[in-house]
């Protein structure tokens, strides 16, 4: 009896291997992709990247977060006050705290936000207060994995600390809701010139939402759709000069000159769970990180041809009065935004997802049939 069961198990196992090999051979997305190898000793595995604009010059591993308290680095911002310092925070289930980390990956200070909660922190951004010239940090408690479980979401504003030592900082809470219904989101960004806040949803049909020009603490602020976003976006950031913004997915990053105006895509280093992105202070490279203990932080140069393309578009825009990256005077928020062109799908195209699901269902059916015949 045991021998018969063993033979049947062997048949099923061999069938599963054959089916899996077939599935891997027919699934799209690997053909023509360039393998990007992580730096020596960083512990990441090689992974195929999508057909995208390859960064000119290899990505550079800056460091690994050495603080054992940083286990789910989900947001990232580059300090304009403290040279070489980046800020990060953990994901859900943690206290409302963030960390200032030096260029060696070691924590310089840990800050707690007074008057804040951390239900599901997913992103952060940095801007400058036009009145004081001081840096302002924004922390987004916007995760909603149930896509509608929360009636509203919260984003906290806190002044960037002037001194890097452990402290508790007062935070201002702003509540938001989406004009077209609750959803999950993992990206926020603030335009450096206008100060407008944006939220990027994490969905198969993602969107970019704009906040009111003046935020209110005494009422719920309404977020309105102004453009599409790549599939399953995990973070977003504005460039220091406001000429572009970037949206990150698990696989790559898409550069925009305005909502719905794609400049190009940039391949990213393979990460276990890519969750964060930010610009360097000169705007010529991107920093990207991952969740996990001792997670890496990479610097990825923006291809020169994309920077040149942005410069030409900016010059043409000044001559012809084109829409600026913040929407411009003529781009009042529209809940439909029907006139905006859809960008090329980033991350995983919908048709590929459907194909994957179809192949997976078919493979499961084949294995089940073989198992039944082997009884």
Each residue of 320-336: pLDDT tens digit? 655 454 544 334 333 32
Token couple for 21: 């090999």
Torsions phi, psi for 313 (to 5 deg): -60, -40
The model carries a pTM of 0.75
Residue with tokens 């952060």: 124
In angstroms, the CA 356 to CA 131 distance is 52
Q: State whether residue 132 is helix, strand or coil.
A: coil
Quote the CA–CA distance of 255 and 244 in Å, as a whole number.
Answer: 7
pLDDT at residue 65 in the model: 98
Q: What is the largest CA-CA distance in the chain?
A: 83
What is d(CA 28, CA 356) in angstroms, rounded to the nearest whole number? 9
> By the 8 A CB rule, do 96 and 117 touch?
yes
Give the pLDDT of residue 145: 84
pLDDT at 55: 53
Residues of the chain with pLDDT under 70: 1-57, 93, 320-375
- Please tell me the distance from the alpha carbon of residue 327 to that of residue 314, in angstroms, as a whole number: 13
Structure tokens that stand for 78 in this block: 């580059």
- Of the candidates 248, 251, 222, the one whose C-alpha atom is nearest the C-alpha of residue 237 is 248
Q: How many helices (H) and strands (E) does the chain have?
A: 3, 23
Neighbour count for residue 108 (Cβ, 10 Å): 16
What gap in Å lies between CA 38 and CA 354, rounded to an integer? 30
Helix or strand holding residue 353 (H, E): helix 350-373
State the helix-helix crossing angle for 2-26 and 350-373, rounded to 10 degrees: 160
Nearest C-alpha neighbor of 254 from the set 232, 270, 272, 273: 232
């Amino acid at each position: 009896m045991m021998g018969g069961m063993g033979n049947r198990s062997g048949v099923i196992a061999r069938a599963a291997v054959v089916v899996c090999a077939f599935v891997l051979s027919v699934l799209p997305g690997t053909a023509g992709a360039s393998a990007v190898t992580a730096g020596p000793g960083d512990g990441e595995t090689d992974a195929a990247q999508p057909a995208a604009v390859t960064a000119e010059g290899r990505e550079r591993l800056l460091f690994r977060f050495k603080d054992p308290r940083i286990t789910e680095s989900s947001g990232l911002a580059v300090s304009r006050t403290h040279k070489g310092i980046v800020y990060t925070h953990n994901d859900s289930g943690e206290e409302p705290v963030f960390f200032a980390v030096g260029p060696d990956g070691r924590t310089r200070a840990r800050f707690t936000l007074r008057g804040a909660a951390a239900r599901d922190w997913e992103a952060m951004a940095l801007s400058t207060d036009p009145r004081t010239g001081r840096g302002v940090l924004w922390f987004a408690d916007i995760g909603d994995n149930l896509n509608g479980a929360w009636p509203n979401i919260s984003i906290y504003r806190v002044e960037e600390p002037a001194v890097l030592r452990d402290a508790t900082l007062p935070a201002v809470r702003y509540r938001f809701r989406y004009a077209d219904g609750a959803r999950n989101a993992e990206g926020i960004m603030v335009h450096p010139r206008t100060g407008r806040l944006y939220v990027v949803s994490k969905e198969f049909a993602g969107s970019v939402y704009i906040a009111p020009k003046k935020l209110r603490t005494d009422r719920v602020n309404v977020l309105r759709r102004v453009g599409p976003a790549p599939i399953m976006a995990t973070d977003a950031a504005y460039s220091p000069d406001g000429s572009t913004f970037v949206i990150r997915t698990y696989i790559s990053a898409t550069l925009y000159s305005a909502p719905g105006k794609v400049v190009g895509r940039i391949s990213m280093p393979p990460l276990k769970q890519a969750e964060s992105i930010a610009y360097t202070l000169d705007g010529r490279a991107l920093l990207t990180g991952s969740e996990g203990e001792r997670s890496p932080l990479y610097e990825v140069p923006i291809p020169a041809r994309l920077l040149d393309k942005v410069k030409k578009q900016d010059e043409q825009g000044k001559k012809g009065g084109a829409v600026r990256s913040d929407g411009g005077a003529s781009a009042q928020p529209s809940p439909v935004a029907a006139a905006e062109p859809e960008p090329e799908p980033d991350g995983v195209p919908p048709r590929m997802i459907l194909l994957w699901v179809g192949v997976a269902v078919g493979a499961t059916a084949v294995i089940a049939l073989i198992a039944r015949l082997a009884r």
